[in-house]
Amino acid sequence: MKSERQEAVLRLVRTGTFKTQEELVDALAAAGFAAGQATVSRDIRELGLVKIPGPDGEKYFAPPTAVSAPDGENRLRKWFRESALSWEASGPLVVIRTPPGEAPVLAHALDQAAWPQVLAALTGNDVVMVVSREGQVHTLLERLAELGGGR
């Protein structure tokens, strides 16, 4: 339910303009998700939503893709340190274990960092499977180790 709600939040901010958390709460309710302001606040933080200026000068929620790549790298470092419990390679795949519910956010941060070694990041509830590009798994493991986090 959490991942579906967070996907709905991302869809909403990509297609609409929301200045406040209360506006997001109302839009989620209209989409069939019962969530209070505290839950939406947590979702905003976990999804890394940002506020960017709109054409009218007001600030609106936007997905993390609206920020530059260095910010994506910083977000990945933060989430990796907080969420990665362990990681291990098997062939071109790297499996990253997280606490329950944190894998989607970590995978999203990895996607936003746009590392050239990463072909794709697939996620479950508590695991991220990273598919490395041909011959890049060792470089990927080195970069993950540089981020910190569990092991």
Res. 123 pLDDT band, cuts 50 70 90: very high
Res. 32 pLDDT band, cuts 50 70 90: very high
Domains of the chain: 2-66 (1.10.10.10), 69-147 (3.30.1360.40)
Q: Virtual CA dihedral for 74, 79, 82, 86, nearest 10 degrees?
A: -110
Q: Which two tokens mark 23? A: 């506006």
Is the whole model's pTM more than 0.75, yes or no? no
| Contact between 98 and 84 (Cβ < 8 Å) | yes
Beta-carbon count within 10 A of 20 CB: 12
Q: What is the mean pLDDT of the chain?
A: 86
